[in-house]
Amino acid sequence: MRIRDGFEVYWREPGASQVGLDPRCAVLLEDLTEGEQQVLEALGRDVDRAALLTLANAHSVRTAEVDVLLERLRVAGVLLEESTVAGDPDARYWQVAAAAGIEPPGSRLDRVIQICGVDQLGLRIAVILAQAGIGSVLLQDRSRVRPEDVGAGLFRPGDVGVNRAEVGRAVLRAAAPKVGVSVPARTRPDLVVVVDHGVVDPVPLRVLMREDVAHLPVLVRELDVVVGPLVRPGLGVCLRCVDLYRCESDPRWPAVATQAATRPPSGVETSLGWSGAALAAGQILAVLDGRPAAVEGAEMALTAWDPIPVVRHWQVHPECGCAPAALGVSPDTPPQTAKGGHR
Contacts with Zn ion by CB under 5 A lie at 238, 240-241, 320, 322
The least distance separating Zn ion from the CB of residue 236, rounded to whole angstroms, comes to 8
| CB nearer Zn ion, residue 238 or residue 301 | 238
The least distance separating Zn ion from the CB of residue 158, rounded to whole angstroms, comes to 43
| CB nearer Zn ion, residue 218 or residue 241 | 241
| CB nearer Zn ion, residue 124 or residue 240 | 240
| CB nearer Zn ion, residue 71 or residue 319 | 319
Which contacts (CB < 8 Å, 24+ apart) does range 18-27 have? 19/73, 19/76, 19/78, 20/78, 20/96, 20/99, 22/96, 22/100, 24/100, 24/101, 25/78, 25/96, 25/97, 25/99, 25/100, 27/72, 27/73, 27/76, 27/78
| CB nearer Zn ion, residue 43 or residue 237 | 237
The least distance separating Zn ion from the CB of residue 307, rounded to whole angstroms, comes to 31
DSSP-derived letter for residue 104 is P
| CB nearer Zn ion, residue 196 or residue 243 | 243
CA 259 to chain centre: 33
The least distance separating Zn ion from the CB of residue 201, rounded to whole angstroms, comes to 16
For residue 255, what are the CA distances in angstroms to 131, 204, 247, 252, 312? 41, 19, 10, 6, 24
The least distance separating Zn ion from the CB of residue 237, rounded to whole angstroms, comes to 6
| CB nearer Zn ion, residue 197 or residue 240 | 240
Distance CA 37, CA 4 (A): 17
The least distance separating Zn ion from the CB of residue 226, rounded to whole angstroms, comes to 17
Task: With beta carbons less than 8 A apart as the criterion, state whether 129 and 285 touch.
Answer: yes
The least distance separating Zn ion from the CB of residue 240, rounded to whole angstroms, comes to 5
Task: With beta carbons less than 8 A apart as the criterion, state whether 209 and 322 touch.
Answer: yes
Distance CA 95, CA 102 (A): 9
Task: With beta carbons less than 8 A apart as the criterion, state whether 233 and 214 touch.
Answer: yes
